[in-house]
Amino acid sequence: DAGITQSPRHKVTETGTPVTLRCHQTENHRYMYWYRQDPGHGLRLIHYSYGVKDTDKGEVSDGYSVSRSKTEDFLLTLESATSSQTSVYFCAIRGQGKHEQYFGPGTRLTVT
């Protein structure tokens, strides 16, 4: 257990509304990641962070922004949600001095 929580766990929202998902970790990990999971695609990287205020884009970053003002929190924002952003979102951390990633429980987001 890498002490990762995500909130909310489930959310239903309407097209065009802003949505923010939160990832919180308790073990001071430097690297944090946001992925989305869709059937047939495995996981795809949206954005990642390598420190406070240090972030970079992943494979599917269009329509998403992130912020990291504290080591423990990594926020994912959908400025104007679209139906194509209906997905399960996972946050992950990279262990200290390790290469594997550990995941939060996921957030199921439905955009109607």
Nearer to other proteins, 18 or 40 (CB): 40
Q: Give the CA count within 13 Å in the CB-facing half-sphere of 37.
A: 14
- Are 74 and 104 a contacting pair, CB within 8 Å? no
- Are 31 and 50 a contacting pair, CB within 8 Å? yes
CB 40 → other proteins: shortest distance, Å?
A: 6
Kindly state whether residue 88 participates in binding other proteins, applying the rule CB under 8 A: yes
Using CB under 8 A, count the residues that bind other proteins. Answer: 20
Kindly state whether residue 44 participates in binding other proteins, applying the rule CB under 8 A: yes
Beta bridge partners of 91: 34
Kindly state whether residue 42 participates in binding other proteins, applying the rule CB under 8 A: yes
Site string for other proteins, 47-76 (x = CB under 8 A): -x---------x------------------
Q: Measure the CA–CA gap between 75 and 6, rounded to whole angstroms.
A: 10
Q: Give the CA count within 13 Å in the CB-facing half-sphere of 10.
A: 0
Contact residues: other proteins, CB under 8 A: 31, 40-45, 48, 58, 88, 90, 92, 94, 99-103, 105-106
